[in-house]
Structure formats: structure tokens, C-alpha cells
């Protein structure tokens, strides 16, 4: 590393950092070498505003009086995951309303960020410690304790171009695909795309501060379906869906103009997420990486018809951005799900924040995995006769050992609880101590 994060942050704090957007540095590269760019530029900002279905938000509603352990939750008739207890919930962007067509979790998240009231209904069986069984109320972002976005898979590093070789219109998450290769749809901001400006993720990792929907957020893990095995071009840039990031950020601080719910016809609800990542120019190699131009970023073309996603060709983002793609002698109109306008705004906003000293860079605390795991789901039909029975299992917590006055209960060499019946005085203290109700009096 020839320039450290600390040195760059010092310059940012003094208002001396030279910050360009990814498009600006690509233009600069037409007349400057990577060595010259390294000398002159400290940070390059990127941006994308695209549908990112694998998104959602954690909400803590606060405890009612008397309290409730929510087991079934709906917000604006959208099912919310309640398996976190007691008043924590996860609302997934693609969860759809049971009553209102075209409305879902993404819309609830958008409404909450905009400051609107939403309708909360929760049910529970009631327990001694959580006696309330029902809640019917209205919440907003000021009333709830926590409301933060936690998106398991965002900012795909490249993505395939979708076409349709069948005779029928297809409605997909890539939008409407016209029959007989009638159009081509893509969803990446090309040379502005965050992970395409640091294709090996040398400067981006766990702990990287990012621009997330108008607020400052963080990368917390590799995204799901993180793929290090995608084929690359001669510049080492993946030409197929590759790496992803899991991100987190305070939704209460987000700007509704950089997070939008959408309903994609024939597919369902999704959430447009705005992400910007600042790339520190730590050496000549990073200067070369951020100089990438649309014509150097290739993408595979997949036929979504005919039983799957068959590769039928390859193109680049200069062609895609031009609006016309030639495939097997046919001219296809291209369309994008990514808003280039908003992607540019995000890169500009991040640039302004860095230039004004409001956004400093964080060095990753951990690099992303070098090797990905990409298993396919194995389909094994269940046996209808095989009725599942929930069995109580000792969790070897040792609570019973703690209360046993005679050492009749003890840990063996494998750290498992054992029982020596000869030492037991039947005092019954372990009965009350066991949290899973495993210890039962015989007879």
C-alpha cells in the first residue's frame, strides 16, 4: 500500500482530499496514466440504485403493558417475521400484502422511512411472563425503538443480461421480456457500480462505511450467493453475477428519495436500494481499477426462456447503455432496471460528503472470503407418513448440576451431563432448574 487510509482521512478532514466520481476518473484515464491518477486522486466514489430483493428491516416495537411475545405479526396486512421474540421483527422487502395487490414489505419500509404511520397487528398465545395476546395499533419511525435496514444480498458485482427466446412474453424480476429476443434487460450501473471498481475487493470488506439510502451504513458480511468463481475478462473483471455485500444502516436517518418500493409486473414486490461506496486510491493498481470504462466491463446474456438461464452471448456496458444490442444478427432494444440518474446522484452526493469532511473512510476489519460456497438446493421429497415429532433434547447447560446438592448430576469428559442415580436424594431441585423441562420425576 502506497497511501494509507489514515493519510487519506487526514486529507479529508483538512478538506484537501481530491475526490472524483467513477465516471470522472474514467474520463481522466483517457489522458492520464494510472501512475498519474494515483498521484492526483485520493478517493473515487461509486453509486448504484437498483432493485435489490434480498433486503429488509429489523424493527423493535417496544414493550406494551402488559407485555406480549409476538408470534404472528402483520404491518399494513404484510406478514412480518416474528421468530425473533418478543417485540423484535424482521420485515422482508418481498413479503406481500394478504389484501392489497402490488403492496408489500418494501412499501412498508418506504412508508416508515417517509415518517408515515403504519398499522401493526400482533397475536400471541400468552404466557405467564408475556400475558398479552393481541395488539392493534399504529406505529411510525419515531415511536419504535430500533428501525434499521439489514440487507443480506445487495450490490451484485455484475449481473447477467436477460433475453427471452420463447414465443411468449415473460414477466420476470428483470422486467418484461419480449418474445423472440424482442428486448434485453440489465441491472447494473456499469462503470459506476461499486464492486466493479474494486473487482477483487481489495479495499472493500467487513466494516467498510458506505452511503446507504441517504444515510451512512456499513458492510457487515459478504452477501449471500457471494461468488468468487465467476469467469473474468482479461482485466480480471467478472463477466457474470459474482460478489455481493450484506449491509446495515439506520433506516430512521434514510432519505426516501434513495430507497423506493416497486412492484414488478408478474413478479412481485421489490425494493430499490441506493448504495455508494468510496474507493480509496491506495496504490497504482487501484487507480487502474477505478479507471475502468463501460466498454471494458462485459456481461453474459442469458435466455430466461426455454427452461432456464442459458448463456446465449456476451456484450459490454457501452453497448447496453447505447440502447441497442446486436444478438445473432438481430437488433434488440436494451432497457435497464438500474436508475443511472440516481446512481450518478449517489456518487455525486458521496463525493460532496467526503469533500466536506462529513464522510471518512474505514479500513475493513476483515477481507471478504477468497473462496465461495455455491451449493444447489437438493430436492428430497418428504415422506407423508413420517410425521415429525418434537423431542426435548438436553442442551447441556448445566443448570441442573448447579442446583444438585449431592453431585448426582455432573459433566462427563465430553462436557455432557450425566446422572448417577445412586447419589440422588430425590430433592427435586433439578426439576425446577431445567429450562427445557427435560428433568421429570419418575412415576
Which member of 374, 406, 418, 440 binds ligand SF4 (CB under 6 A)? 406
Q: What are phi and psi of 166, to 5 degrees?
A: -90, 180
d(CA 361, CA 13): 11
- Report in angstroms how near the CB of residue 402 gets to ligand SF4 at its nearest: 8
Residues with Cβ within 8 Å of 114's Cβ and at least 6 positions away in sequence, in order, are 256
Distance CA 161, CA 174 (A): 9
Instruction: Give the nearest distance from C-beta 126 to ligand SF4 in angstroms.
Output: 25
Using alpha carbons, list the distances in angstroms from residue 393 to 409, 412, 436: 16, 17, 8
Rank residues 230 and 433 by Cβ distance to ligand SF4 and give the closer one: 433
Q: Is the CB of 106 or the CB of 408 nearer to ligand SF4?
A: 408
Q: How far apart are CA 281 and CA 248, in angstroms?
A: 24
CA angle 390, 395, 400 (to 5 degrees): 115
Residue closer to ligand SF4 (CB basis): 323 or 405: 405
Q: In the complex with ligand SF4, which residue's Cβ is closer, 84 or 423? A: 423
3-state secondary structure at position 105: helix
To the nearest whole angstrom, how small is the minimum distance from the Cβ of residue 410 to ligand SF4? 10
Q: Name the minimum Å distance from CB 128 to ligand SF4.
A: 19
303: left (phi over 0), alpha (psi -120 to 50) or beta: beta
Q: Judged by CB under 6 A, which of 59, 170, 361, 439 binds ligand SF4?
A: 439
Annotated active-site residue in 129, 400, 404, 434: 129
Nearer to ligand SF4, 70 or 408 (CB): 408
Find the helix or strand (DSSP H, E) in which 284 lies: helix 284-290
C-alpha cell at 289: 481499477
Instruction: Identify which of residues 376 and 441 has a Cβ nearer to ligand SF4 in the complex.
Output: 441
CA dist 361 to 8, 22, 224, 234, Å? 8, 16, 24, 30
Question: Measured between alpha carbons, how far is 219 from 153 in angstroms, rounded to an integer?
Answer: 11
Cα distance between residue 344 and residue 155, in whole Å: 15
The contact pattern for ligand SF4, residues 381-400, with x = CB under 6 A and - = no contact, is -------------xxxxxxx
Is 430 noted as a catalytic residue in this protein?
A: no
Quickly tell me which residue has 449517489 as its cell: 346
- Nearest approach in angstroms of CB 432 to ligand SF4 is 9
Least distance to ligand SF4, CB of residue 394, Å: 3
Residue count, binding to ligand SF4 (CB under 6 A): 25
Within positions 407 to 436, which residues make up the interface with ligand SF4, using CB under 6 A? 408-409, 417, 424-430, 433-434, 436
Does 337 participate in binding ligand SF4 (rule CB under 6 A)? no
Residues serving a catalytic function are 129
Contact residues: ligand SF4, CB under 6 A: 394-400, 403-404, 406, 408-409, 417, 424-430, 433-434, 436, 438-439
Amino acid at each position: 500500500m502506497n497511501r494509507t487510509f489514515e493519510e487519506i482521512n487526514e486529507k479529508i478532514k483538512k478538506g484537501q482530499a481530491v475526490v472524483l466520481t467513477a465516471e470522472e476518473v474514467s474520463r481522466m484515464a483517457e489522458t492520464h496514466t494510472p501512475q498519474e491518477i494515483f498521484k492526483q486522486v485520493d478517493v473515487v466514489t461509486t453509486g448504484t440504485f437498483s432493485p435489490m430483493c434480498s433486503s429488509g428491516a429489523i424493527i423493535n416495537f417496544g414493550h406494551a403493558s402488559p407485555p406480549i411475545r409476538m408470534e404472528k405479526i402483520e404491518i399494513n396486512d404484510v406478514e412480518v417475521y416474528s421468530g425473533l421474540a418478543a417485540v423484535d421483527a424482521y420485515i422482508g422487502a418481498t413479503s406481500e400484502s394478504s389484501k392489497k395487490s402490488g403492496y408489500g414489505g418494501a412499501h412498508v419500509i418506504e412508508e416508515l422511512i417517509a415518517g408515515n404511520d403504519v398499522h401493526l397487528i400482533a397475536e400471541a398465545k400468552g404466557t405467564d411472563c408475556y400475558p398479552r395476546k393481541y395488539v392493534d395499533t399504529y406505529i411510525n419511525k419515531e415511536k419504535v425503538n430500533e428501525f434499521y435496514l439489514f440487507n443480506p444480498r445487495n450490490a451484485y458485482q455484475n449481473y447477467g443480461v436477460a433475453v427471452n427466446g420463447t414465443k411468449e412474453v415473460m414477466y420476470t424480476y428483470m422486467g418484461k421480456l419480449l418474445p423472440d429476443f424482442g428486448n434485453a434487460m440489465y441491472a447494473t450501473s456499469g462503470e459506476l457500480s461499486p464492486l466493479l471498481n474494486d473487482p477483487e475487493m481489495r479495499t472493500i470488506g467487513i466494516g467498510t462505511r458506505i452511503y446507504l439510502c441517504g444515510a451512512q451504513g456499513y458492510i457487515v458480511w459478504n452477501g449471500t450467493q457471494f461468488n468468487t468463481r465467476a469467469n473474468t475478462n482479461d482485466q480480471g473483471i467478472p463477466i457474470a453475477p459474482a460478489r455481493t455485500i450484506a449491509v446495515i444502516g439506520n433506516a430512521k436517518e434514510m432519505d426516501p428519495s434513495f430507497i423506493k418500493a416497486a412492484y414488478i409486473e408478474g413478479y412481485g414486490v421489490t425494493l430499490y436500494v441506493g448504495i455508494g461506496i468510496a474507493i480509496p486510491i491506495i496504490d497504482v493498481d487501484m487507480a487502474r481499477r477505478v479507471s475502468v470504462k463501460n466498454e471494458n466491463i462485459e456481461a453474459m446474456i442469458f435466455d430466461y426462456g426455454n427452461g432456464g438461464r442459458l448463456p446465449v452471448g456476451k456484450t459490454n456496458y457501452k453497448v447496453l447503455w447505447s440502447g441497442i444490442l446486436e444478438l445473432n444478427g438481430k437488433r434488440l432494444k436494451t432497457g435497464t432496471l438500474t436508475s443511472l440518474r440516481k446512481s450518478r446522484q449517489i456518487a455525486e452526493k458521496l463525493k460532496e460528503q467526503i469533500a466536506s469532511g462529513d464522510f471518512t473512510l474505514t479500513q475493513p476489519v476483515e477481507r471478504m472470503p477468497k473462496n465461495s460456497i455455491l451449493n444447489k438446493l437438493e430436492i428430497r421429497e418428504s415422506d407423508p407418513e413420517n410425521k415429525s415429532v418434537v423431542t426435548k433434547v438436553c442442551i447441556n447447560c448445566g443448570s441442573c448440576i448447579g442446583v444438585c446438592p449431592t453431585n448426582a448430576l455432573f459433566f462427563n469428559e465430553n462436557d455432557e451431563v450425566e446422572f448417577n442415580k445412586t447419589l440422588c436424594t430425590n430433592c427435586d431441585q433439578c426439576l425446577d432448574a431445567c429450562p427445557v423441562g427435560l428433568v421429570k420425576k419418575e412415576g
